[in-house]
Amino acid sequence: METVISNTKVSVKEFREMLFDEDDNYYYEIINGEMIQKSAPTPMHQRICKILLITLDKFVTEKKLGEIFPSPIDVFLDDYNKPQPDLVFVSNEKQSIITHDGIIGIPDLLIEIISPTSLIRDRIEKKNLYERVGVSEYWVVDPQYAAIEIYSLRNNRYELHTAATIFEGEFKSALFEGLTINLADIFSTTVS
């Protein structure tokens, strides 16, 4: 569940100066200056995230390509954008953006697993943001339809690289040459 908790534009700097209760069980994102309070994800969401994390981490580690990070992790894209994507890939070439405070800069890949409350934000707002700042690849994972869309940055614009549903079998990433993922492996626990 997502809730916008501020009617005024909030900068990342202002957010960092805010005091939160120690018992606060929420995660916070800032998207285009809008502060969003997020509840913990559902078990189905976490199953999908875990499967993708294990699959991608195995591939990235074997090929020595960089690192995969699961949420919650802050990604500081600019002064008014601090998303917490579900999965983040940072290549070896960009390791300097990984800091003690989070990822400060533009990762190579961001993955969002959408929920009914994040549908517009993930499909439109975040897609436009990630395109604007230059994230090489963006995956939108839709548990409701057991589908994945992969957008690749070409000439500073996202183009749909591939879209697949569980009924179409496999998909490939432009970023990870040689990686093929079977959608049944990802969504087997979400469809009946």
What is the per-residue pLDDT across 4-56, written as a single tens digit (0 to 9) for each? 666 678 888 888 787 666 666 778 899 999 988 888 888 999 999 999 999 99
Q: Quick check: 68 and 87 in contact, CB under 8 A?
A: yes
Residue 98 CA to residue 35 CA, distance in Å, equals: 23
Q: Is the pTM of this model over 0.85?
A: yes
Domains with residue ranges and CATH for the chain: 41-187 (3.90.1570.10)
Residue 89: which of 139, 124, 46 has the closest Cα? Answer: 139
**Which residue bears the tokens 């802050």?**
74
Residue 103 CA to residue 64 CA, distance in Å, equals: 19
What is the per-residue pLDDT across 140-187, written as a single tens digit (0 to 9) for each? 999 988 999 999 999 999 999 998 887 778 888 999 999 998 888 888
**Which residue bears the tokens 């994102």?**
29
